[in-house]
Amino acid sequence: MSRLSIITAPDPILRKKSAPLETIDDALRALMDDMFEIMVAGDGIGLAAIQVGVAKRLIVTRVAEGDEPPVALRLVNPEILWRSDEPSVHEEGCLSLPDQLAEVERPERVRVTYLDAAGERRELETGGLLATCLQHEIDHLDGVLFVDHLSLVKRSMIIRKLKKAQRQKAVAPA
Ligand code: NI
């Protein structure tokens, strides 16, 4: 069982900028495995290390396109090299903003460079849900949440709902 738990908004930790990783070792691979496990348990398709309180540039994703089985990725120091001009809109959620969904507009395609779990340099160009997921997770590494792409009114509404849910949870009998 994973030792990690997911930090939820508006916790200020989620606003921290994550630092690049210098080395990829077994401890890091174990962290990625734990992150993967907690992501799957939460029914998420992506998770950034900062969401479990680790301010390192590390994300995991598990995205299925159409009827294909989900593709698992572990990305260290991911960087967006290129974004398409054409936008697309996807409904997004986040394990750090439980039960909140909103449509977000982002570039339709991206090219991303990263190190894989073995430390090999890789490049990936993709569109659709995976492109959205990668942009969402890489945002987390810079302290950005998907609600930051919404209007102030929508963002405030979602944050208010989250605070209310947390208050209710705090007073609910165990
Ligand atoms: Ni998220």
pLDDT digits (tens, 9 = 90+) for 118-138: 999 999 999 999 999 999 999
Residue 147, domain member (yes or no): yes
Residue 68, domain member (yes or no): yes
Q: How far is the CA of 156 from the centre of ligand 1 (A)?
A: 17
Q: How far is the CA of 135 from the centre of ligand 1 (A)?
A: 10
What tens digit of pLDDT does each residue of 14-25 get? 999 999 999 999
| Domain span at 120 | 12-171
Residue 155, domain member (yes or no): yes
Residue 68 — very low, low, confident or very high, per pLDDT cuts 50/70/90? Answer: confident
Number of domains in the chain: 1
- Structure confidence at residue 2 (pLDDT): 58
CATH of the domain at 129: 3.90.45.10
Residue 6, domain member (yes or no): no
pLDDT above 80 for 3: no
Residue 58 — very low, low, confident or very high, per pLDDT cuts 50/70/90? Answer: very high
**43 burial level (CB within 10 Å; 0-12, 13-18, 19+):** exposed
- C-alpha neighbours within 13 Å on the C-beta side of residue 171: 5
